[in-house]
Structure 1
Amino acid sequence: MASTRVLVLEDDDGIRMALRMALEDAGYLVVECARAEEALRAVEEEPVDLMLVDLMLGGIDGFTFISRVRSTTHAPIVVVSAREGTGDIVNALEVGADDYVTKPFVVEEVQARLKALLRRPSIAEPETGRDRTERVRLSDGADPLVMDLAAATVSRGGQRIHLTKTEYRLLEVLTANAGRVLPRRTLLERVWEHGFYGDERLVDVHVRRLRSKIEPHPSEPQLLITVRGLGYRLDLP
C-alpha cells in the first residue's frame, strides 16, 4: 500500500485536505492538485496508480481532464463530484472514468472503491501463477480477437486494444461465464466489488465502451449481447 500513489484533483481546499489526510492515514501516497492543468503535468512527470477527480474545476474541467489523461494511462479514475444528474455521471463514465461518488460522501466509501479498483488485474503486467500461454479466442476470421489471460491483454490480429482496468475486468468476467446471461447487479458485484453502493448505469456505460473497442459493428453486436430485461451475455465462436 505504501507505494500506491493517488492523485486527488479537487479545487475545494477543505475537501482536498480531508481526502489527503484520510488517504495518507490509510497508507497511500497522495499527490494533490487544485487545477487540471497542474494535475496533467503531475501525471506526466510521475505516473499514479489511482485518481480521484472532481468535475467542476476552474480552467479545464474534470470531463476534459479525464478524456486527456485516459489516452495515456490505464490508472483507474473515480469521479468525486456534487454533480449527480444522470447526464453528468454518464458523460464522466463515457470519457473514461471507472466509477463515481457523489458529494457529500463518506471517506470510508471512497476508500472501499479504491481498494476494489486496486484488486483488479494489471493491464500492463502478467499475473503471477498463471500459464503465460493461456489465451481465449473471442472471434473467428483472419484477424481474430484474442484475450491473453496471463498478460491481461486483448488484441485483434496481433494489434493490442487499449482497455482500461474496468473494461478488461468486465470482459474477463463475461468470458469466464461465456454463454450465460449475467444480470447487471451480478456484474456490479464481480467487476466493481461494491454492489451495495453501485449504480447499474456503470455497467451499461462500460458495456458500450467495451463494445466500441471489441465489436466490428458496435451498434449490431455479435459478441457482447444484450438480453433485454435480464442482462448481458458473451457469445464465443
Structure 2
Amino acid sequence: MVDPSVASTDLGGPGGSSRVRALVVDDEPALMRVVAAYLAREGFDVTTAADGREALDRAREVRPDVVVLDVMMPGVDGIEVCRQLRTFSDAYVIMLTARAEEIDTLVGLSVGADDYMTKPFSSRVLVARIRSLLRRPRHGSGLAVGADGSDTSVTRRFGDLTIDPEAREVRLRDRLVSLTRTEFDLLEALSSRPRAAFTRTQLVERVWGPGWFGDERLVDLHLGHVRRKLGDDHTEGQYVRTVRGVGYRMGPG
C-alpha cells in the first residue's frame, strides 16, 4: 500500500509533470519508512511493500519505474521477487544486501537486477544511484543516437549474432536471446565500436552514467551472463572478448 506519511511531488520532467514511481520493499518497517520518506522528499511517487508477495502485487498495480528490493525476506525472498518481476516488468531494480560478499553470489544468479547496495547505506547515495539508472534509455524510447554519437538505428552483425539497437533485440542464429536491460546496454556499447577495446570505466560511463559510483566488477559479472546466454567461451569468446589488462571488445564479425 502507499505509505500515508509519504507525499509525491513532480520531478520536473517533460512539461513539468513527469513523476517517477518507486516501489520500496523491505521487511524491516523502520528502514522501509526511512527510505520511502527520503525518496518522497526527493520527488518520487512511493509505494511500499513489507514482503515478497505484496511486492509483486504492488508492482502489477502501480507499474513502478524503479524497485528498491531487500534480498533477505521471509517467504518469497528478494531473489525470487526479482525473477518474477522480470517476467512482466522492465523496472530498474536495486537490490539491498546485508553483506558485501553476497553481491558476487547475487549477480552470479543472474536474477536481472541492475545494481546492488550493501547495508547500511546512505539515502543520498541510493538516490544518486537511482537517478543514474533513470538517465539510461528505456525500452521503446525511440532514441536513435548513442551516448557517443553513434547511430543506434543500424542493425549490427557479428557472424551468427545480430544486434538491433533500435528494437533492443539480440538474435543468435535467428533465435531471440533474452537479455536484461543492463546486459543489453553493455552489449550495445561494445558493438557500437567493433574491435575497439573498452575499459570497465568506459563501460560504466556508457551504461550506468558518468555520475555512477560503485563496484566496477558489475561489468565483469553482467558480461559473464551475456557470454553464457550467447554460448560464448569465457577464455576465448567468439562475440565478447577479454582484452587482458584493458577490458572488453566485440570479437571479429
TM-score between both structures, scaled by the size of structure 1: 0.86
Q: Deviations along 1:108-156, whole A, 9 cap, x unmatched? A: 11111111111111123422679x992232323xxx4332233333334
CA RMSD of aligned residues (A): 2.5
Partner of 2:224: 208
How many positions carry a matched residue from both structures?
231
Aligned AA (1:91): T
Classify 1:194/1:11 alpha carbon distance in 2 versus 1 (closer, same or farther; 3 Å). farther
Classify 1:18/1:188 alpha carbon distance in 2 versus 1 (closer, same or farther; 3 Å). same
How far apart, in 2, do the equivalents of 1:17 and 1:156 lie?
Answer: 45
237, 245, 251: which is aligned to 1:221?
Answer: 237
Classify 1:177/1:16 alpha carbon distance in 2 versus 1 (closer, same or farther; 3 Å). same
140, 156, 168: which is aligned to 1:137?
Answer: 156
62, 76, 89: which is aligned to 2:103?
Answer: 89
8 Å Cα contact 1:76/1:97 also seen in 2: yes
1:1-237 paired onto structure 2 within 5 Å: 1=11, 2-85=18-101, 88-93=102-107, 94-127=110-143, 134-140=153-159, 144-156=160-172, 160-193=176-209, 197-213=213-229, 215-219=230-234, 221-237=237-253
For structure 1, the residue ranges without an aligned partner over 5 or more in a row are none
Post-superposition offset of 1:194: 5.4
Q: Deviations along 1:14-52, whole A, 9 cap, x unmatched? A: 111111111111211111111001101122233211111
Q: Deviations along 1:187-215, whole A, 9 cap, x unmatched? A: 223222257632122011100111223x2
8 Å Cα contact 1:138/1:236 also seen in 2: no
Classify 1:172/1:9 alpha carbon distance in 2 versus 1 (closer, same or farther; 3 Å). same
How far apart, in 2, do the equivalents of 1:133 and 1:8 lie?
Answer: 33
For structure 2, the residue ranges without an aligned partner over 5 or more in a row are 1-10, 12-17
SS at match of 2:158: coil
Q: Deviations along 1:142-177, whole A, 9 cap, x unmatched? A: xx4332233333334555433222112211211123
How far apart, in 2, do the equivalents of 1:129 and 1:228 lie?
Answer: 30
- Identical-pair percentage: 35
Aligned AA (1:234): M
How far apart, in 1, do the equivalents of 2:134 and 2:203 lie?
Answer: 17
Aligned AA (2:221): V
8 Å Cα contact 2:135/2:209 also seen in 1: no
Classify 1:48/1:218 alpha carbon distance in 2 versus 1 (closer, same or farther; 3 Å). farther
How far apart, in 2, do the equivalents of 1:196 and 1:29 lie?
Answer: 22
Classify 1:149/1:217 alpha carbon distance in 2 versus 1 (closer, same or farther; 3 Å). closer
Q: Which runs of 4+ in 1 moved over 6 A?
A: none
How far apart, in 2, do the equivalents of 1:205 and 1:12 lie?
Answer: 29
8 Å Cα contact 2:232/2:239 also seen in 1: no
